[in-house]
Structure 1
Amino acid sequence: MLRIGIIGTGGIANAHVQGYLAFPEHCEIVALADVAPGRAAQKAEEFGISAAGYDDPAQMIAEADLDLVSIATPPSTHAQLTIAALDAGIHVLVEKPMAPSLEECEAMLAAQERSGKLLSVVAQNRFRDDLATLKEVVDSGLLGSISHVRVDSAWWRGLPYYDLWWRGTWEKEGGGCTLNHAIHHIDLLLWLLGSPAEVTAMLANAQHDNSEVEDLSVAVFRYERGLAQLTSSVVHHGEEQEIVIQGQHARVSQPWKVLAESSDAAGFPARGGDAERVAAIEAIVANREPLAHRGHEGQIEDLLAAIRDGRKPIADGRAGRDAIEVVTAIYKAGIEREFVSLPLSASDPYYRAGRLVEHAPHFFEKTASLAEAAS
């Protein structure tokens, strides 16, 4: 029975609590911590669990005899808490984004390596049936070489969203929608296609004049032959998120749609298209066994199994680090107005912690700093 601790008791902590509670035969939540006095105990009471409440995360790490800790705190705290837990011999599941800088990510990976424990970064969308299906189709080879990918990480947030004390600042949040919202889709892009060779981007704050950070970015990625484009946004009404993958032989997308053209003698689309290929792709979808657990619950199931089996988790620390590398390249490209080659070198100034805070534009200044988000 694994003993679980959770640091941070804000909204996202609920997904962690519910995820662990789904596997009572494998784990037990024994401790919660939050720097706001009394909030950890309050969260335990809310879920009816007999877990000790701590106002000091460091004290919890030192005293609670934990096997695994979830870190669900603001991004600027992830590295320090993760390293402390790993060095104490505790496995870690840390919320996205892994950390605001590659330097911090590498320090977290170094702690994981020397501790011999597991480090997993939240990538709950890998544990969705529709996206796992998309991955299986891409891996099948039925699409052929990839020509173009369009990713819309489209979210919408009103002005009060940035009133919470740590949001809307480069120092505490680490960035805007590119880091904190599109990180999900960046992870999926890397999961589906691997890392691009080159990135360029533009950043803007279109609608949130109470925030330093961007609320909109558009990036273009170069792969071996094809291109991908990513829109990161918290200004899109309807939050219509989409991934469209155009291959040599067919197109698939999430929400699900499949199309496959065939050529007539003159090179134009032939009537009816490639029905046989469409049928082969749809057969993959029809024959796929649905996931037993999804989202955070699915990732927690995988991590618990990885600890038991002595293997890497599906979404490990390296995957979390690679997503931050792409975010860093987007920010560098947008701020410096240049094309950025990947991988980034450790000698690159944007690799280092603090560089982004020093050089990022303040689109506007933060006008409110609430201790808790309005309910």
Structure 2
Amino acid sequence: MLNVAIIGTGAISPAHIEGYLQFPEKCRIVALCDIYPDKARQKANHYHLDAEIYADYTDMLHRTDIDLVSVCTPPYTHAQIAIDFLNAGKHVLVEKPMASSLQECDAMIGAAGKNQKILSVISQNRFRNPVMKLKRVLETNLIGPIVHTQVDSLWWRGYSYYDLWWRGTWEKEGGGCTLNHAVHHIDMLLWMNGMPSEIVAVMGNAAHQNAEVEDISIAICHYPHGGLAQITSSVIHHGEEQQLVFQGKYARVSVPWKVIASKAKENGFPETDHELEARIQQTYAALPDIQYEGHTGQIDDVLQALEGKKDVLVDGHQGRQTLELITAIYQSASLGQAVPLPLRPDSPFYTREGILKNAKYFYTKEKSIDNFTVEEITTGGNYE
């Protein structure tokens, strides 16, 4: 039986708590920690947890009975908390984004390697049936080489969203919608199509004058083979319609699922390739569903890895790669230049200090509240 601790009991923590509770034969939650211990106590009571409550995570580091820690705190705290627990001999599952800089990511990966512990980064949308099936379809190469990808990470957040004390500043949130919302879709893009070789990006703040950070960005990714990808990251889009569309040489597939295949007439104009469409559709339909989706699916993945049954699907290196692409978007949009990948340690955005110095600041955060009374949040579509 694995003993689990959860650090940070804000809006995302129920996804972790409910996920662990799906596996009572494998794990139990023995500790909750929050700088507002009453929040942790409320969560323990709500879920009927026999868990010890802490206000300071460092008071937990000496406990030898804790095996796995979920880090659900604001992004700027992820690195230190994760490193401390890894050095204390615990496995770590950390919320997205992995950290607030690539330098911090490298330190986390180093700590995991030194202590031979698992470090996994939340990428719960990989664990959705439509997303997993799309990945498998792409692996068949039925659509041919990917020539263009459209990533629409479209969300909507009201003005008050950035009133929360840690949101809306480069220092504490680490960025805006590109980092904290589009991270889901950028992870999926990299998982399915790999890392581009160059980024050109712009960003703005159109509707949240109480935040330093962007509420919309648009990036163009160049791939070595000549293909392009475009990423729109936003918290100003009503309806939160989210999709990834992969245009291959022979066909187009996407989440939400849709397939279209074309072939050329004698004059080069398109006609439907019904045969290829049917093959792709049959391939998709024949793929089995995964047993658990979302955070629960990723928690199951980590638990299986701890049992020695598999490697984690999302390790620290993949979490770092996602932050690398996001960092390149910020560097390009802030400095007005094309940014080649991979980013080197001499990048002006490699360190947290470099980001704070060089990032584009839009407005001054003028309001700060400790907590919202409403904790209900949206975490993206299910891509059906």
Equivalences, count = 373
What is the aligned partner in structure 2 of residue 175 from structure 1?
175
**By how many angstroms is 1:219 displaced?**
0.2
What is the aligned partner in structure 2 of residue 336 from structure 1?
335
Residue 37 (str. 1) matches residue 68 (str. 2): no
Which of 251-260 and 72-81 deviates more?
Answer: 251-260
Alignment of 1:1-375 (within 5 A): 1-63=1-63, 65-223=65-223, 224-270=225-271, 273-309=272-308, 311-375=310-374
* 1:265-301 CA-partner distances (Å, limit 9, x unpaired): 111113xx11111111101111111111000000000
What is the rounded CA distance, in whole Å, between the counterparts of 1:289 and 1:310 in structure 2? 20
Q: Is the contact made by 1:118 and 1:312 (CA closer than 8 Å) also made in structure 2? A: no
* Corresponding letter in the other structure for 1:249: Y
* 1:169-189 CA-partner distances (Å, limit 9, x unpaired): 000000000000000001000
* Corresponding letter in the other structure for 2:257: W
When the two chains are superposed, the root-mean-square deviation of aligned CA atoms in Å is: 1.0
What is the rounded CA distance, in whole Å, between the counterparts of 1:349 and 1:263 in structure 2? 47
What is the rounded CA distance, in whole Å, between the counterparts of 2:351 and 2:214 in structure 1? 20
Secondary structure of the equivalent of 2:62?
helix
Q: Is the contact made by 1:199 and 1:340 (CA closer than 8 Å) also made in structure 2? A: yes
What is the aligned partner in structure 1 of residue 381 from structure 2?
none
Structure 1 unmatched ranges of 5 or more: none
What is the rounded CA distance, in whole Å, between the counterparts of 1:284 and 1:29 in structure 2? 40
Q: Is the contact made by 1:163 and 1:373 (CA closer than 8 Å) also made in structure 2? A: no
Q: Is the contact made by 1:153 and 1:185 (CA closer than 8 Å) also made in structure 2? A: yes
* 1:110-140 CA-partner distances (Å, limit 9, x unpaired): 0000010000000000000011111111111
What is the rounded CA distance, in whole Å, between the counterparts of 1:103 and 1:6 in structure 2? 24
**By how many angstroms is 1:371 displaced?**
0.4
What is the rounded CA distance, in whole Å, between the counterparts of 1:168 and 1:155 in structure 2? 16
What is the rounded CA distance, in whole Å, between the counterparts of 1:232 and 1:64 in structure 2? 42
Which of 305-314 and 215-224 deviates more?
Answer: 305-314
Q: Is the contact made by 2:292 and 2:300 (CA closer than 8 Å) also made in structure 1? A: yes
* 1:304-359 CA-partner distances (Å, limit 9, x unpaired): 00011164200111110000000100000001111111101112221112111112
**By how many angstroms is 1:39 displaced?**
2.4
What is the rounded CA distance, in whole Å, between the counterparts of 1:338 and 1:7 in structure 2? 38
Secondary structure of the equivalent of 2:46?
helix
What is the rounded CA distance, in whole Å, between the counterparts of 1:284 and 1:92 in structure 2? 36
Secondary structure of the equivalent of 2:186?
helix
* 1:183-205 CA-partner distances (Å, limit 9, x unpaired): 00010000000100100100100
* 1:93-117 CA-partner distances (Å, limit 9, x unpaired): 0000000100000000000000100
**By how many angstroms is 1:367 displaced?**
1.8
Q: Is the contact made by 2:263 and 2:273 (CA closer than 8 Å) also made in structure 1? A: yes
**By how many angstroms is 1:64 displaced?**
6.1
* 1:58-93 CA-partner distances (Å, limit 9, x unpaired): 112323621000000000000000000000000000
* 1:135-188 CA-partner distances (Å, limit 9, x unpaired): 111111001011100000000000110000000000000000000000000100
* Corresponding letter in the other structure for 1:257: K
* Corresponding letter in the other structure for 2:100: P
* TM-score relative to the length of structure 2: 0.96
What is the rounded CA distance, in whole Å, between the counterparts of 2:95 and 2:370 in structure 1? 20
Which of 56-65 and 322-331 deviates more?
Answer: 56-65
* TM-score relative to the length of structure 1: 0.98
Q: Is the contact made by 1:29 and 1:49 (CA closer than 8 Å) also made in structure 2? A: yes
Which of 149-158 and 59-68 deviates more?
Answer: 59-68
Q: Is the contact made by 1:31 and 1:64 (CA closer than 8 Å) also made in structure 2? A: no
What is the rounded CA distance, in whole Å, between the counterparts of 2:146 and 2:358 in structure 1? 35
What is the rounded CA distance, in whole Å, between the counterparts of 2:295 and 2:355 in structure 1? 30
What is the aligned partner in structure 1 of residue 377 from structure 2?
none
Q: Is the contact made by 1:169 and 1:175 (CA closer than 8 Å) also made in structure 2? A: yes
What is the rounded CA distance, in whole Å, between the counterparts of 2:324 and 2:150 in structure 1? 19
* Corresponding letter in the other structure for 1:347: D
**By how many angstroms is 1:215 displaced?**
0.2
* Corresponding letter in the other structure for 1:326: L
Q: Is the contact made by 1:31 and 1:54 (CA closer than 8 Å) also made in structure 2? A: yes
Q: Is the contact made by 1:147 and 1:225 (CA closer than 8 Å) also made in structure 2? A: yes
What is the rounded CA distance, in whole Å, between the counterparts of 2:54 and 2:63 in structure 1? 10
What is the rounded CA distance, in whole Å, between the counterparts of 2:373 and 2:148 in structure 1? 41
Which of 9-18 and 306-315 deviates more?
Answer: 306-315
Structure 2 unmatched ranges of 5 or more: 375-384
* Corresponding letter in the other structure for 2:312: P
* Corresponding letter in the other structure for 1:360: A
Which of 72-81 and 279-288 deviates more?
Answer: 279-288
